């Protein structure tokens, strides 16, 4: 990987680009699935994760996350599952923080026991919960911060130090933060994962995942990845590279909009609770300040409404914000985690995780922050009127 001496703004635009006077200023797309094998150092093949378009994107992301090597996958879950199955075997134990993306939790519950891999969960807010849960057979600690959808903050440096002292590999899902807001490798984490579908894509039109780590660990994960075949093609890689060029300016705008919106909703009489690490009232605010360069474009809140039906009525009354799955795009999206990201969890599991039916998660876009707030205010006012009428 090239040494980076530039800012992230500049790295987003220039790092990794495979250009020359013939190509112009954009990396060419190499769509081929068949490459010659004579007179080459290694065979080139998309499933081997070594084509030019794959390597171009990986190099840019490695510079943004300060990693030595990385791999691109067909989805965030492909990145997560491949990484964990590359690191774990029968009889091993993995320790997860309790607050995780619902798809990750479903994978844990559905697949790991079948493979003879044991697991347990720790409270992300206390290091004692992690240290007490470690066993002699613990090989991996897996965290996600800020968490989905309650934006809980885990002390990255503390988890990394605890794991290193015991020879345990650490993995983090850094999707919500993006490389612009948080660089876990700088804080001691071994492996950084992203659902690139979100902020790295940024336009709600590409699905991919990424693993960023040391050259040694990447080699181990690649061996499993080649067998599972979760690679992506050159055309998709070219779209990713295009999107990454604007990552920094998009995320900075989303940071600003989300903080504005969180502060306004925290004062709104129609809102019960706001979850956003940029608020001084957030229980993880001080830790977030110490490990994040920006607080991100994600927040969640509970309006003064009761139940999933009322929450859906609220979302139907929005005119600008789009009720939709996923996050991280330039448009502001809203969803009820009980119906989307955490639908595969049981009602009891959601209750234990603190995910109520009324909870709404907002992925703040790059529109005018005032227009976004105006849309929420209008929907909240309509909901209040409906409640008032129904109570008469």
Q: What is the set of active-site residues?
A: 47, 101, 173, 198
**Rounded Cα gap, residues 87 and 14, in angstroms:** 33
The whole-angstrom separation of Cα 291 and Cα 389 is 47
Going by C-beta distance under 8 Å and a sequence separation of 6 or more, which residues neighbour residue 222? 49, 71
257: helix, strand or coil: helix
Contact between residue 335 and residue 325 where contact means Cβ atoms under 8 Å apart? yes
C-alpha 84: how far from its chain's center? 16
Helix residue ranges, H only, the chain: 8-14, 52-65, 76-87, 102-107, 127-133, 156-165, 178-181, 215-228, 234-244, 247-266, 285-291, 307-316, 347-353, 369-390
* CA angle (60 as vertex; 171, 169 as ends), nearest 5: 15
- Cα 123 → chain centroid: 19
Residue 81 in contact with residue 105, Cβ under 8 Å? no
Helix, strand, coil share of the chain (percent; to 5): 40, 15, 45
CA distance 323 to 334: 5
Measured CA to CA, the distance from residue 88 to residue 9 in angstroms comes to 37
Give Cβ neighbours of residue 352 (< 8 Å, ≥ 6 apart): none
**Which DSSP string do the residues of 300-328 spell out, in sequence order?**
EEEES--HHHHHHHHHHT-SSSEE-S---
């Amino acid at each position: 990987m090239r040494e980076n001496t530039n800012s992230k703004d500049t790295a987003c635009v220039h790092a990794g680009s495979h250009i020359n006077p013939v190509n112009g200023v954009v990396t060419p797309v190499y769509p081929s699935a068949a490459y010659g094998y004579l007179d080459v150092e290694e065979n080139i093949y998309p499933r081997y994760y070594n084509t030019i378009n794959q390597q171009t994107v990986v190099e840019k992301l490695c510079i943004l996350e300060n990693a030595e090597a990385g791999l691109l996958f067909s989805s965030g879950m492909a990145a997560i599952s491949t990484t964990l199955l590359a690191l774990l075997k029968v009889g091993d134990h993995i320790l997860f923080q309790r607050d995780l993306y619902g798809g990750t939790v479903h994978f844990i519950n559905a697949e790991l026991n079948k493979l003879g891999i044991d697991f347990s969960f720790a409270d992300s807010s206390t290091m004692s919960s992690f240290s007490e849960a470690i066993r002699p057979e613990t090989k991996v600690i897996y965290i996600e911060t800020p968490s989905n959808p309650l934006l809980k903050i885990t002390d990255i440096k503390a988890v990394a130090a605890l794991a290193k002292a015991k020879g345990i590999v650490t993995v983090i899902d850094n999707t919500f933060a993006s490389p612009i807001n948080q660089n876990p490798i700088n804080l001691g984490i071994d492996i950084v994962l992203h659902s690139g579908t979100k902020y790295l894509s940024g336009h709600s039109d590409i699905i991919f995942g990424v693993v960023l780590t040391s050259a040694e660990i990447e080699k181990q994960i690649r061996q499993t990845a080649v067998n599972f075949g979760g690679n992506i093609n050159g055309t998709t890689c070219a779209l990713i590279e295009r999107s990454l060029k604007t990552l920094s300016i998009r995320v900075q705008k989303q940071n600003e909009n989300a903080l504005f919106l969180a502060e306004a909703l925290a004062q709104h009489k129609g809102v019960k609770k706001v979850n956003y690490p940029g608020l001084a009232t957030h229980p993880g605010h001080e830790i977030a300040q110490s490990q994040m360069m920006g607080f991100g474009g994600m927040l969640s809140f509970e309006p003064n409404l009761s139940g999933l039906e009322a929450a859906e009525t609220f979302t139907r009354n929005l005119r600008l914000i789009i009720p939709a799955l996923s996050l991280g795009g330039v448009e502001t999206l809203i969803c009820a985690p009980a119906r989307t990201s955490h639908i595969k969890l049981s009602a009891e599991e959601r209750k234990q995780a603190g995910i109520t039916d009324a909870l709404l998660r907002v992925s703040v876009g790059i529109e005018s922050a005032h227009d976004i707030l105006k849309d929420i205010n209008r929907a909240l006012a309509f909901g209040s009127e409906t409640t008032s009428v129904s109570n008469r």
